[in-house]
Structure 1
Amino acid sequence: MTINPALLLILGALPVPLLNGRARAAWMLLLPAAAMVVLWTLPEGVHGGFDVLGLALNPLRVDALARVFATAFLVAAFISVVYALNLRDRVQQTVIPVYAASAVGGALAGDLITLFVFWELAGLSSVFLIWARRTERAYRAGMRYLVAQVASGLLMLGGIVLHVQSGAGLEFGFIGLGDPGGLLILLAVGIKCAFPVLHAWLQDTYPEATVVGTVVLSAFTTKFAIYVLARGFPGTGELVWVGVAMACFPIFYAVIENDLRRVLAYSMINQLGFMVAAIGVGGALGVNGAAAHAFADILFKGLLFMSMGAVLLRTGTAKGSELGGLYKSMPQTMVLCVIGAASISAFPLFSGFATKSIIMEAVSEEHRTVVWLLLLFASAGVFHHAGIKIPFFAFFAHDRGHRVAEAPLNMRLAMGLAAAGSIAIGVAPNLLYGLLPYEMDYSAYTVPHVVNQIQLLLLASMAFTVLMRTGLYPPELPSVNVDADVVYRRFLPRAWRTGVQGTTRVRDQVTKPLQRRADRVLALASRPLKARGWLGTPWPTDVMVLWVALLLGLFLLVSLL
């Protein structure tokens, strides 16, 4: 029998709550490592397929696209486990391998039923990373997160049913928008991928998770959705503009946001936009660019979330208005955070440069000038809010007097692994290019590309400096920014309360007069039955005999007719 790496992780998570201390740490580190070995010993092809009610199920299919995403998920799982070693919370440590297994299993799924099972497992398991914070805000955020995940699952299930009814079968390959089922599946993916308007759950819930939970959440759900898009919807032209919108609009929210973990949540949507646009362009460069950038994003975005998690752990806050000067107390965390910032900003010799350039090249080869310019603007914007704002306001700006200990050793090791991966991809991008699903003759380090990127970064940094020196840059203030979540957090509850109050008023104005009239009619009809009514008084015997005779005669007459 062929072992499924996802099943290995799920079964391996069962004894985690029963282990203690170093035994539990060693076991948790062994799980993703063993799954990685299993993944890379599997030959390409379908393994262990079987039929159910005439439908072909292929729970384990290995090809280049599945392998690169599954590898990224297992790397993220290992780094997350290292980052969580100082936890004493058995719930979080048990959830991590199960949640990782859902993403790995989905990447290796060969049919839509298996995909749906892991799609739902990802949503149901990950919510515990939010609830594990054990606050009222976390509980409410977890409920909203769960609603989004369940809605996505229902759309996915409905789409699969319609897709199969159209005669397409259960194979998880290209889906497209040729039938209503494909549209429902795309909407389901759009929720987890944070399409515009459908995105609000992400920045609403991720910052409410635990220190470790936010790091783990950043690695799996959205990248799982990117994989489904890359497998099922490559070359779907509508995705290009969806991706452009995703890359651009979060910039404005991130600039004015005070919570630095929420800034990173907006930054995540920005980076997902590049991947979605690349998938919409399609072709070898488009799909390769999306896969490569997803791999790199798992590392550098995880690194940034880990650094802010360490800051939150030591200072008790992740708000820019309450931070600053931490380079004195947490210099190692600061250096690692800067590496993550350089990677997401696509500095040469860092991972973002090697992966984002593939996407820009794919767009350029399609001669999509407007799209290319908008993505270039988004690249400058991410340098502003993630490359500069995060390390500047956390570690350098307006010293708030925090004198705290450096991050725990295991957290620094996890951040070091992510930083090393980001630098390795940037310095030797062919290490990642060799894992991509399509062969390509591409080099990121050409003179025009390096010069253009350095010019972009220099101009963006100059703009930030000018805005800061002139006081035009939005200050870090405790505030609440209104986003699409206002619809379900404020507007819908208010509309519900208004509707209930209106219904109550209508009921009072209409039903009460009718009730009074009904009472009068009932009183009039029941008057003969009362003690003094004509039916309630004693009748003489001769009258009773007369009534009996009349009733008998009436009965006989009716029977004769």
Structure 2
Amino acid sequence: MISSLPLLPPFLPLLIGSMAAIFLRGHIRSAIMLLAPVWGALQLSGLEPGIYWAMEFMGYQLEPVRVDKLSIMFGYLFHLAAFIAIVYALHIKDTVQHVAGLSYAACAVGAVFSGDLLTLFVFWELLALTSVLLIWARRTERAYGAGMRYFMIKVLSGVLLLAGTLIFISQTGSAVFGEIGLKQEGILNLGAWLIFLAFGIKCAFPFVHNWLTDAYPEATPTGTVFLASFTTKVAVYALARGFPGTELLVWIGVTMACFPIFYAVIENDLRRVLAYSMINQVGFMVVGIGIGTSLALNGAVAHAFNDVIFKGLLMMTMGAVLHMTGKINGSELGGLYKSMPKTTVLCIVGAASISAFPLFSGFVSKSMVMSAAVAEGYDYVWLALLFAAAGVFHHAGIKIPYFAFFAHDSGIRTTEPPKNMLIAMGIAAVLCIVIGAFPAQTVYALLPWNADYQPYDVTHVLTQLQLLFFSALAFVWLNLKNMYPPELPSTNLDADWLYRKLAPAFMVPVYYSVTGAINKTEQLAKEGIKRVINNSYDQEKNQPKGYFAQFWPTETMVFWVAFLLAGILILYYI
């Protein structure tokens, strides 16, 4: 159904805010930036379900704005995340970060409201272009290298999406972005797989996840908050829209939920720990999409909603630590609770939320996915998710606050971060508690599918409390026995070892061999030409050698020209 046009496309208020940030300065710029997501959210509240701004392009119907419950939920989430991130970044004066952050949020909103694959592709690529600026804005050599690797992988995702889209359009005659699935026939199946892989790269599937753990920790303290909010959640939305009930996603999601735990436990950079934790949490969402029931899908999108808030809170607290101390490695921190008590408390709220403590936001969404797994007979999946839930409490619920604010006293004495950073963290912390205590009135009210679920029953609460208790007991015992992996200054590589170590080790010798052969050939050619020149010139007489190099009189040349001309004329007339 094509509806009457709204006042503006949903992404435009944020884009207008980003353009204003280019020219405005001071308090006026701050006010406009804060008003942009508020204005955008108010516009969303007036939108009715339907298709807006429909147009024809090259014979195909485009639907740039499609409004339904799923897109509206992510639209509200992204405007809320943008507002919190803007508040957090108000103290900085870097125009690049402000413009890139707001533009990035606008592209995320545009992507989730895209009703066709071509419009989705446009915003998909703009997401990569705007987000990489938040990495390069840190202006370090490591940030530049990580940003280049990040951008190349995102471009690959865009190429796969475009190729799959073109196949899909040519075979179906429609560009509409709806349920695609992997059970197509012929070449259409190839197109579906290409789109699936494009979504998977942005969702940080195993073996194509390293752009996240490599680049996010190298971004600016404020840029990481934006990055943690949008890219992977757009991919989760795309999977929920295009591939619900695809069983392969269940096993991919389980792998995502489990394997980051081992790397996060030994990681020293605390923002990289949170990057691994993000993959772990997205794994729960992917499992829910793969199961495909109403309860599972609701659990996936509800957990995406909550993850943006509590992961953003944890990223903000670690960004505050980095901003105030200049350090982020667990081996260099500790004892900060003495000089940053408010930040410590806010970090603990985020840790409790991501660990799914009852009365915190993570509990009311993560349990939905696990309940759906049990209900559909995925018992082994449920056990694996239980292990993953214990693991995330270990590395994000305990390790982050413990090594940053407690553990050994590093001797660092600083102050609380700027007030705007505290306010942003406070907003996120309050939301974590309110959503956890009143899910039916908050996140459950936005859910796209009909499913009755009550998180606070005796079984769920007792199971989760036991899990958390024994996980904490294991951490304490390992720490007292000095068996917990120590925080060591190091850089951990996983699948990125293939292109950061193995590929250079193979390609560098090949490169030098090829360039050496080219240089040698060039040198031999130069020497040969020089030898020819030297042999054709008489140094003693200071003149060229040979009959044809002699200086001939003009009349001789005229004679031979006339002779050749006469010969040509005779041959022509014969």
Of stretches 30-39 and 113-122 in structure 1, the one that deviates more from structure 2 is 113-122
Task: Work out the CA distance in 2 between the residues paired with 1:403 and 1:263.
Answer: 24
Alignment partner of 1:476 is 2:487: yes
Shift in alpha-carbon separation, 1:291–1:537, aligned structure 2, 3 A = closer
Report the residue type matching 2:485 in the other structure: P
Partner residue in 1 for 2:164: 159
Report the residue type matching 2:137 in the other structure: A
Task: Work out the CA distance in 2 between the residues paired with 1:32 and 1:101.
Answer: 9
Partner residue in 1 for 2:554: none
1:193-342 matches, cutoff 5 A:
193-342=203-352
Alignment partner of 1:490 is 2:501: yes
Report the residue type matching 2:127 in the other structure: A
Report the residue type matching 1:161 in the other structure: L
Task: Work out the CA distance in 1 between the residues paired with 2:482 and 2:181.
Answer: 49
User: What's the CA shift string for 1:387-421, capped at 9, x where partnerless?
Assistant: 00000000110011111111211111111111111
Report the residue type matching 1:479 in the other structure: S
Deviation of the 1:491 alpha carbon:
2.7
Shift in alpha-carbon separation, 1:279–1:521, aligned structure 2, 3 A = same
**Match of residue 109, structure 1, among 114, 131, 137:** 114
Aligned-partner SS, 2:61:
strand
Alignment partner of 1:69 is 2:80: no
Partner residue in 1 for 2:557: none
Alignment partner of 1:87 is 2:87: no
Partner residue in 1 for 2:406: 396
Shift in alpha-carbon separation, 1:63–1:536, aligned structure 2, 3 A = closer
**Match of residue 119, structure 1, among 124, 136, 143:** 124
Partner residue in 2 for 1:437: 448
Partner residue in 2 for 1:360: 370
Where in structure 2 are there 5+ consecutive unaligned residues? Answer: 538-542, 552-559
Deviation of the 1:509 alpha carbon:
8.7
Aligned-partner SS, 2:177:
coil
Report the residue type matching 1:96 in the other structure: G
Shift in alpha-carbon separation, 1:460–1:507, aligned structure 2, 3 A = same
Task: Work out the CA distance in 1 between the residues paired with 2:191 and 2:475.
Answer: 46
Task: Work out the CA distance in 1 between the residues paired with 2:527 and 2:148.
Answer: 45
Of stretches 19-28 and 193-202 in structure 1, the one that deviates more from structure 2 is 19-28
**Match of residue 180, structure 2, among 172, 175, 187:** 175
Partner residue in 2 for 1:145: 150
Task: Work out the CA distance in 2 between the residues paired with 1:225 and 1:91.
Answer: 25
Report the residue type matching 2:121 in the other structure: F
Deviation of the 1:345 alpha carbon:
0.4
Are 2:536 and 2:544, in contact at CA under 8 Å, matched by a contact in 1?
no
Alignment partner of 1:44 is 2:49: yes
Shift in alpha-carbon separation, 1:101–1:522, aligned structure 2, 3 A = same
Task: Work out the CA distance in 1 between the residues paired with 2:26 and 2:528.
Answer: 76
Partner residue in 2 for 1:98: 103
Task: Work out the CA distance in 2 between the residues paired with 1:504 and 1:440.
Answer: 64
Aligned-partner SS, 2:429:
helix
Aligned-partner SS, 1:166:
helix
1:378-393 matches, cutoff 5 A:
378-393=388-403
Are 2:306 and 2:432, in contact at CA under 8 Å, matched by a contact in 1?
yes
Task: Work out the CA distance in 1 between the residues paired with 2:58 and 2:249.
Answer: 35
Of stretches 402-411 and 515-524 in structure 1, the one that deviates more from structure 2 is 515-524
Moved over 4 A (4+): 504-526, 530-538, 554-561
Partner residue in 2 for 1:542: none
**TM-score, with length taken from structure 1:** 0.92
Report the residue type matching 1:171 in the other structure: V
User: What's the CA shift string for 1:61-103, capped at 9, x where partnerless?
Assistant: 1111111111111110111111111111122122222111111
User: What's the CA shift string for 1:136-182, capped at 9, x where partnerless?
Assistant: 22222222222122221111111111111111511111122222111
Alignment partner of 1:10 is 2:15: yes
Aligned-partner SS, 2:56:
strand
Partner residue in 1 for 2:540: none
User: What's the CA shift string for 1:319-371, capped at 9, x where partnerless?
Assistant: 10011011111111111100100000011111111000111011111111221
1:382-531 matches, cutoff 5 A:
382-430=392-440, 431-504=442-515
Report the residue type matching 2:151 in the other structure: L
Deviation of the 1:500 alpha carbon:
2.0
Shift in alpha-carbon separation, 1:531–1:513, aligned structure 2, 3 A = closer
**TM-score, with length taken from structure 2:** 0.90
Deviation of the 1:531 alpha carbon:
7.7
Deviation of the 1:19 alpha carbon:
2.4
Partner residue in 2 for 1:544: none
Task: Work out the CA distance in 2 between the residues paired with 1:34 and 1:560.
Answer: 91
Task: Work out the CA distance in 1 between the residues paired with 2:198 and 2:479.
Answer: 41
Task: Work out the CA distance in 2 between the residues paired with 1:391 and 1:536.
Answer: 87
Aligned-partner SS, 2:11:
helix
Alignment partner of 1:191 is 2:201: yes
Task: Work out the CA distance in 1 between the residues paired with 2:523 and 2:341.
Answer: 73
Aligned-partner SS, 1:264:
helix
User: What's the CA shift string for 1:34-77, capped at 9, x where partnerless?
Assistant: 11110011011112212122211111111111111111111101
Aligned-partner SS, 1:378:
helix
Deviation of the 1:18 alpha carbon:
2.6
User: What's the CA shift string for 1:468-488, capped at 9, x where partnerless?
Assistant: 011110000101112222222
Shift in alpha-carbon separation, 1:362–1:523, aligned structure 2, 3 A = same
Report the residue type matching 1:433 in the other structure: Y
Task: Work out the CA distance in 1 between the residues paired with 2:497 and 2:83.
Answer: 36
User: What's the CA shift string for 1:441-492, capped at 9, x where partnerless?
Assistant: 1111111111111111111111111110111100001011122222222333
Shift in alpha-carbon separation, 1:522–1:369, aligned structure 2, 3 A = farther
User: What's the CA shift string for 1:265-313, capped at 9, x where partnerless?
Assistant: 0000110111111111112112111100000000000000000011111
Deviation of the 1:555 alpha carbon:
9.7
Are 2:21 and 2:29, in contact at CA under 8 Å, matched by a contact in 1?
yes
Task: Work out the CA distance in 2 between the residues paired with 1:223 and 1:462.
Answer: 33
Task: Work out the CA distance in 2 between the residues paired with 1:66 and 1:234.
Answer: 15
Are 2:178 and 2:242, in contact at CA under 8 Å, matched by a contact in 1?
yes
Shift in alpha-carbon separation, 1:560–1:248, aligned structure 2, 3 A = same
Shift in alpha-carbon separation, 1:168–1:444, aligned structure 2, 3 A = farther
Shift in alpha-carbon separation, 1:102–1:525, aligned structure 2, 3 A = same
Shift in alpha-carbon separation, 1:371–1:555, aligned structure 2, 3 A = same
Task: Work out the CA distance in 2 between the residues paired with 1:28 and 1:75.
Answer: 13
